[in-house]
Amino acid sequence: MKVRDVMTSNIIAANSNTSIAEVAKKMRDLNIGAVPICDENNYPIGIVTDRDIVIRGVVDGLTSSDDIGEIMSKQVIYVSPDMHVHEAARLMGEKQIRRLPVIENGRIIGMVSIGDLAVQNIYENDAGHALSEISTPSRPMM
């Protein structure tokens, strides 16, 4: 099974000048945890998660009117729609991330999450293994 078979294709994106508050409201209203940040050509230049808003925004003293570009992750790890879901799950586990933008011809066409993989019964082991790797702390807790 390919990523395109399980990805969410109805996604929203923001640009780097969008306010933190506006992105947070989109996350709340759509019940999502990540928003890709794209340039004017819909090319992904970053991604922001709800955790980024808290850790890089609130904790670092930014205000809700500051640009989301100030807190986005600039290294975008992504997959192609033709990648096998086993490989996507492996990548999630290896990189310890729960969501991956799906890029085709340089443009974002969807998102795939660990939840998308988990609902496919035949990939339950892959998704479980990836989630286990994602949830394992990379450094000792204090």
Asked if residue 140 belongs to a domain, the reply is no
- 53 in any annotated domain: yes
Q: Is residue 107 in a domain?
A: yes
Nearest one of 111, 103, 113 to 42, comparing CA atoms: 103
Tens digits of residue pLDDT in 28-64: 999 999 999 999 888 899 999 999 999 998 888 899 9
pLDDT of residue 58: 87
Q: Would residue 43 count as lying in a domain?
A: yes
Average pLDDT estimate for 118-135: 52
Q: How confident is the model at residue 122 (pLDDT cuts 50, 70, 90)?
A: very low
pLDDT of residue 41: 87
- Whether residue 87 is contained in a domain is answered as yes
Q: Is residue 141 part of a domain?
A: no
- Identify each DSSP E strand in the chain by its residue range: 34-38, 44-49, 99-104, 107-113
For 95-107, the pLDDT digits (tens) are: 989 899 999 998 9
Q: What percent of the chain has pLDDT over 70?
A: 84
Phi, psi of 63 (to 5 degrees): -105, 165
Q: Judging by beta carbons within 10 Å of its beta carbon (0-12, 13-18, 19+), is residue 110 exposed, middle or buried?
A: buried
Question: Would residue 77 count as lying in a domain?
Answer: yes
Residue 64 lies in a domain: yes
Residue 131, domain CATH = 3.10.580.10
How many distinct structural domains can be found in the chain? 1
Q: How confident is the model at residue 117 (pLDDT cuts 50, 70, 90)?
A: confident
